[in-house]
Amino acid sequence: MRAMTYSQYGDPSTLQLTDDAPMPTLSPGSVLIRVERAAVNPVDWKVMAGGLDSLIDAVFPVIPGWDVAGVVEAVGPDTPEFSPGDRVASYGRKDVIHGGTFAEYVALPATSVAAIPDGVRSEVAAGLPLAGLTALRSLETLQVAEGDTLLLHAASGGVGHLAAQLARARGARVLGTASPRNHERLRSLGVEPLTYGDGLVEQVRELAPDGVDAVADFVGGVREQTLAVLADDGRHVSIADPSVEEAGGRWVWVRPDGARLRSLLEQVAAGALQVEIARTVPLAEAASAFEANRDGTVSGKILVDTTR
């Protein structure tokens, strides 16, 4: 089996293409997916650098990747939800970092897998799981509802642009930070754009003098700005800064959830949710995709085509 692997923690240059990775074991309640597309997320290169070593064990050599879209090749015993030939997607995080999605095949629990609705391209389906489920869990944790004013830090990023759309669909007013070059994109999503950095507190207070009802931090390092603009009874979460829990917030970790992913995919199919795709590269160029994601200069998801 072709796959990208690494045998020790390091930077993206440690990735190696192999043609003889072992085929995944198909256990009861699992689905073997023939991978068509895998998406690159910041967590991929953070894991590869050893950044989650204290939270999740790694078994080397590691095949990285948690996002996938493809076709069911086979199902394990007692897996009636899926059949060979079904188009599926998944946020495929496991308890151990080992057999990921940057490969020709990946085996995942059926509970983390969702059928892809007709009309949704594999590229879009692969770019949605981690970011979309993270956005959804953040909004659910914040209990964002109609009439709320929500501030999103990094609103134009992979998680942010999805959270913005989901929050607007809930009837919330959304303020979002981004660099000026991304402000027009945010306006097209119904977001009131703000420039991050110095002066952000003043910008928010001008638009929401009494403070905002909720804040979702998708970048880290903004806790003090969050607290400065939050209403007295406001709620806040972060996916990047666990110290928010010291200030009454919640540190959010996304969970694999096939049912919720299916709901998000159905919104994509209905035209109610857009996933921004930047480009697709072949499997052999996965290292360059990791570098581009780490640089933070690319707007939209970078996908890896495992079929070429």
**Nearest residue to 254 (alpha-carbon basis) of 115, 150, 158:** 158
Q: What per-residue confidence (pLDDT) applies to 49?
A: 95
The answer to whether residue 258 is domain-embedded is no
- Going by pLDDT thresholds of 50, 70 and 90, the confidence category of residue 298 is confident
Residues 188, 160: contact at Cβ < 8 Å? no
Judgement on whether residues 65 and 42 belong to the same structural domain of the protein: yes
- Sorted by sequence, the CB contacts under 8 Å of residue 262 that are 6+ apart come out as 114, 115
Residue with token string 């754009």: 193
Judgement on whether residues 112 and 137 belong to the same structural domain of the protein: no
The CATH number for 141's domain is 3.40.50.720
Q: Which of 251, 267, 290 is the last residue of a domain?
A: 251
The answer to whether residue 17 is domain-embedded is yes
Full-prediction pTM beyond 0.85? yes
The CATH number for 27's domain is 3.90.180.10
The answer to whether residue 261 is domain-embedded is no
Percent of the chain with pLDDT over 70: 100
What is the per-residue pLDDT across 163-215, written as a single tens digit (0 to 9) for each?
999 999 999 999 999 999 999 999 999 999 999 999 999 999 999 999 999 99
Judgement on whether residues 188 and 199 belong to the same structural domain of the protein: yes
Q: Where are the beta strands (DSSP E) in the chain?
A: 3-5, 16-18, 30-39, 57-63, 67-75, 87-91, 96-99, 105-109, 113-115, 149-153, 173-178, 192-195, 212-217, 230-238, 250-251, 277-282, 301-305
The answer to whether residue 192 is domain-embedded is yes
Q: What per-residue confidence (pLDDT) applies to 237?
A: 98
Provide the number of structural domains found in the chain: 2
The answer to whether residue 144 is domain-embedded is yes
Judgement on whether residues 238 and 138 belong to the same structural domain of the protein: yes
Residue with token string 């090749």: 73
- Going by pLDDT thresholds of 50, 70 and 90, the confidence category of residue 143 is very high
The answer to whether residue 176 is domain-embedded is yes
Judgement on whether residues 8 and 123 belong to the same structural domain of the protein: yes
- Going by pLDDT thresholds of 50, 70 and 90, the confidence category of residue 78 is very high
- Sorted by sequence, the CB contacts under 8 Å of residue 16 that are 6+ apart come out as 4, 5, 6, 7
Instruction: Label residue 34 exposed, middle or buried (CB < 10 Å: 0-12, 13-18, 19+).
Output: middle
Helices assigned H by DSSP within 41-128: 42-48, 122-127
The answer to whether residue 203 is domain-embedded is yes
Range of the domain at 88: 3-128+275-305
Q: What per-residue confidence (pLDDT) applies to 295?
A: 87
Check whether the bond before 61 is cis (ω within 30° of 0).
yes
Q: What per-residue confidence (pLDDT) applies to 103?
A: 98
Q: What per-residue confidence (pLDDT) applies to 296?
A: 77
Average pLDDT over residues 127-147: 98
The answer to whether residue 232 is domain-embedded is yes
